[in-house]
Amino acid sequence: MSEPAHPNHHRDVAAFDLRAAGYENGWRGQLHREITTRTAAPAAREAHASSRILDVGCGTGQLLRLLAATFPTASEVRGLDPAPSMLAVAATHAHDPRLSFDAGDAEKLPIPDGHFDLVVTTTSFDHWSDQAAGLQQCARVLGAGGLLVLVDLPLLLLAPTLLGERRRKARTNSRAGRLLDAAGFSAPVWHDLYTPIIKAVTARLSR
C-alpha cells in the first residue's frame, strides 16, 4: 500500500475500519445505499459496454455488487480500499465470482496502466489525502476513452468548510474541475445525485 501523504489519512481509514461491521445499517447505511443505487444509473448510461470496472474506496462493496448485476458482460469488477475491515465485510457479501476486493489507496493504485475502462468512486474522494494524485492514478489505470464516475460533495455550499482542517480539499466544482483537467480528463459533466450536497461528475480521458 502507498505511503500516506497526509497525517489525516490514518485517522480517516481507522474511522471506517471501526464502522465497517455496521456500515450498511441504519440511516447512514440507507444513505450510502441510495447514493450507490443512483450512481449505477449514469454509469450504465455512459459506459454500457464496460468490461473491466474498478471502484476506488469501495468500502463494503455495495456499488460493485450493483454494477456486477448492471454489467452482466463485464469480466472484472474490482474494489480497492485501505480499510481492512471494510474489505472483510465486502468479501462476505461478494457472491459473484467476477467481484474481487483488495487493499489499496487512491494515491497509489496497485494496477497496471490502462487496465480498466470504467473507474467509479462514491463518497471516498473527500477522504483521499492527495486528491490530485488520486485522480492522476484513476487516469493512469483507465484505457483510452475510459470513463470516470466520481460521486462526492464538491459544491459551493460547502465553501465555508474550506477554511478548516479540510481547506485543501476539492469541495467545489471548480476545484474538482481543475484537478480533473490536470489529470487528463476532458469536459466533465456534473449531475445532481442526492440532495444538494452530493454531486456526480462523469468525465472521459482526453487521450
Ligand X SMILES: C[S@@+](CC[C@H](N)C(=O)[O-])C[C@H]1O[C@@H](n2cnc3c(N)ncnc32)[C@H](O)[C@@H]1O
Using CB under 6 A, list all residues that contact ligand X: 12-13, 16, 32, 35-36, 56-59, 62-63, 81-83, 86, 105-107, 122-124, 127-129
Nearer to ligand X, 182 or 187 (CB): 182
Nearer to ligand X, 16 or 194 (CB): 16
Copy the grid coordinates of residue 30. Answer: 440507507
Q: How far is the CB of 130 from ligand X (least distance, A)?
A: 8
Copy the grid coordinates of residue 51. Answer: 468490461
Please, which residues have CB within 8 angstroms of residue 9's CB and are 6 or more apart in sequence? Answer: 82, 105, 129
Which phi-psi region, left, alpha or beta, contains residue 61 (left: φ > 0; alpha: ψ -120 to 50)?
Answer: left
Nearer to ligand X, 110 or 145 (CB): 110
Q: How far is the CB of 53 from ligand X (least distance, A)?
A: 13
Please, which residues have CB within 8 angstroms of residue 174's CB and are 6 or more apart in sequence? Answer: none
Nearer to ligand X, 106 or 205 (CB): 106
Nearer to ligand X, 62 or 202 (CB): 62
Q: How far is the CB of 104 from ligand X (least distance, A)?
A: 7
Residue with cell 496497485: 110
Which phi-psi region, left, alpha or beta, contains residue 187 (left: φ > 0; alpha: ψ -120 to 50)?
Answer: left
Nearest to 115 by CA among 201, 53, 68, 66: 53
Q: How far is the CB of 64 from ligand X (least distance, A)?
A: 9
- CA 83, distance to chain mean position in Å, is 14
Q: How far is the CB of 62 from ligand X (least distance, A)?
A: 5
